[in-house]
Amino acid sequence: MNRPESIPAISRHGIATLPQMLERTASMFPDRGIVHVSPLDGTEDLQTYAELRDESRMAARLLLAKGWRPGDLCLFVLSDSRAFVTLFWGCQLAGVVPAPLAPLAPLQGNQADSLEADKIP
């Protein structure tokens, strides 16, 4: 079976990549954004699309300055949603492949006890 060559899909707005989408969104809606809610106290933190673009650019520059190269896989675990979103987009801008992992849930009650019982002396 012959497959056609991969051609990037371009939206009706002329956008073919995620970094282009971030740039366009930040340009069109600089004061709109993402509301991050703290799991600790419920406080809200607005990260505008313009801030996300700028902070992600800084993260991308830092990744590249630290030796990351386009195509490298970046595993990360972040429970802070603002840091998570910023690093994800920073990876996109740097060409680094983001590979986020879920943080471990804290052990509760019987789970912690069963782990203690499973330890080898």
Note the pLDDT tens digit of each residue in 41-82: 999 999 999 999 999 999 999 999 999 999 999 999 998 999
Query: What is the model's pLDDT at position 109?
Result: 59
Amino acid occupying residue 17: T
In a domain, 6, yes or no: no
In a domain, 110, yes or no: no
Is pLDDT above 80 for 22? yes
Mean pLDDT calculated for residue range 83-94: 97
In a domain, 44, yes or no: yes
In a domain, 43, yes or no: yes
Query: How many structural domains is the chain composed of?
Result: 1
Q: What is the mean pLDDT of the chain?
A: 85
Is pLDDT above 60 for 4? no
Domain that holds residue 37: 18-104
For residue 59, give the nearest of 82, 35, 43 by alpha carbon: 82
In a domain, 121, yes or no: no
Does the model's pTM come out above 0.85?
no
In a domain, 53, yes or no: yes
Mean pLDDT calculated for residue range 84-96: 97
Which CATH number covers residue 32?
Answer: 3.40.50.980
Query: What is the model's pLDDT at position 1?
Result: 45
**Going by C-beta distance under 8 Å and a sequence separation of 6 or more, which residues neighbour residue 97?**
71, 72, 73, 74, 91
Is pLDDT above 50 for 115? no
In a domain, 74, yes or no: yes
In a domain, 42, yes or no: yes
